[in-house]
Amino acid sequence: MDRGVSIIEATIAAGSDGWRLDRALAEAVPTLSRERLKVLINAGQVAREATAVRDPARRAKAGEVYRVAVPAPTPAHNEAQDIPLVVAYEDEHLIVIDKPAGLVVHPAAGNLDGTLVNALLHHCGGSLSGIGGVARPGIVHRIDKDTSGLMVAAKTDRTHEGLARQFAAHSIDRRYRAIVGGRPVPPSGSVDAPLARSPVNRKKVAIVAGGKRAVTHYRTMEPLRDGAVVECRLETGRTHQVRVHMASIGHALLGDPVYGRTKQAHKAVLETLGFRRQALHAAHLGFIHPITGAALAFESAMPPDMQELFSQLIV
């Protein structure tokens, strides 16, 4: 490994056979976006059997192994900001945060500061993995701005790579609590439906043939007034997965401004409480520590706004 360069070995999965190389590698290395991988491929930073591959459109084959050279990030312009964090666990390798609703995970257009990354830069004193790139140091996965709950960030590249492998293997135990409209029948089941950007509205995610496989296992935890508290266990972790999958079976999350259609029975309650976000909380996170090998698991109770909504809908 060259100084300042991280080498990631990526194996093309059977489900990615025949895909464009940039897309297949993005599936194998979830810490790198497809656009970033395209840039790395064009720059000769991706090799197979010691030979640089420079065509992002090359068709990948299942079982092929590629070496992706990720240059050290250029100095980040993100500002360390003293934003309070609820820390569920921390050591020299990683940190688990209980994120409040409303906090954006990483800087992007429209949210250049006041993000979780800004808070982590302050809290960790700049000790965060660089594999995620300039804008996303330490970020291995994310949850939506208006979703609350547990997420893990990496302090070192080795930790980042180890966690990324677990996410790619779908071995991370992630369970969400959601308050949905209606009561699912049957009370438990699975949604296996591929997700991609909506061809009609690029700001939304939709069930699209040929999209990335997405699987959500749900079970009703408690019936509510024309609704229910549901636990959703993610087998995969796609953008807006829980929100889209539950809406697809007729049980959209209460308060969801994008995928929900608020039932008349709930409008008054949501308005009275001023509840204007999807009722979704990352309540459980379990994984193997990439460095120590210890099995770690964390629980987070529903935040006060969801608890209040729950109490108003108890049967």
Question: Stretch 282-309: mean pLDDT, rounded?
Answer: 97
Closest Cα to residue 150, out of 314, 299, 312? 299
Distance CA(39)–CA(257), nearest Å, equals 34
The residues, any chain, with a CB within 8 Å of residue 279's CB and separated by 6 or more, are 178, 179, 180, 253, 254, 255, 256, 306, 309
- With a cut of 70, say whether residue 73 has pLDDT above it: no
Lookup: tokens for 116: 């979780």
Residue 2 pLDDT class (50, 70, 90 cuts): very low
Q: Which of 6-10, 240-244, 292-296 has the lowest mean pLDDT?
A: 6-10
pLDDT for res 80: 86
**Count of residues in the chain:** 315
pLDDT over 70 at 171, yes or no: yes
Cα separation, 206 vs 218, in Å, equals 19
Q: What pLDDT, on a 0 to 100 scale, did the predictor assign at position 134?
A: 63
Which pLDDT score is estimated for 315? Answer: 81
pLDDT digit string (tens) for 211-261? 999 999 999 999 999 999 999 999 998 999 999 999 999 999 999 999 988
Cα-based distances in Å from 65 to 29, 56, 101, 194, 213: 12, 15, 39, 25, 21
The pLDDT score that the predictor gives to residue 261 is 84
- Based on DSSP, count helices (H) and strands (E) in the chain, helices before strands: 7, 15
Q: In sequence order, which ranges of 131-218 are alpha helices (DSSP H)?
A: 157-168
Mean pLDDT value across the chain: 91
Residues 6+ apart with CB under 8 A from 112: none
Reply yes or no on whether the pLDDT at 279 is more than 90: yes
pLDDT at 166: 93
Q: What is the pLDDT of residues 181-208, one digit of tens each?
A: 999 999 999 999 999 999 999 889 999 9
Q: 216: which strand partners? A: 191, 234
Phi-psi region at 293: left, alpha or beta (left = phi > 0; alpha = psi -120 to 50): left
Q: How much is the pLDDT for 48?
A: 94
Active-site pick, 22, 144, 146, 157: 144
Q: What is the mean pLDDT of residues 26-39?
A: 84
pLDDT-based confidence at residue 262 (cuts at 50, 70, 90): confident
Q: Is 98 a catalytic residue?
A: no
pTM for this entry: 0.78
For residue 1, what pLDDT band results from cuts at 50, 70 and 90?
very low
The whole-number average pLDDT for the span 110-134 is: 81
pLDDT tens for residues 133-170? 666 788 899 899 999 999 999 998 889 989 988 998 89
**21-28 vs 34-42: helix crossing angle, rounded to 10:** 120
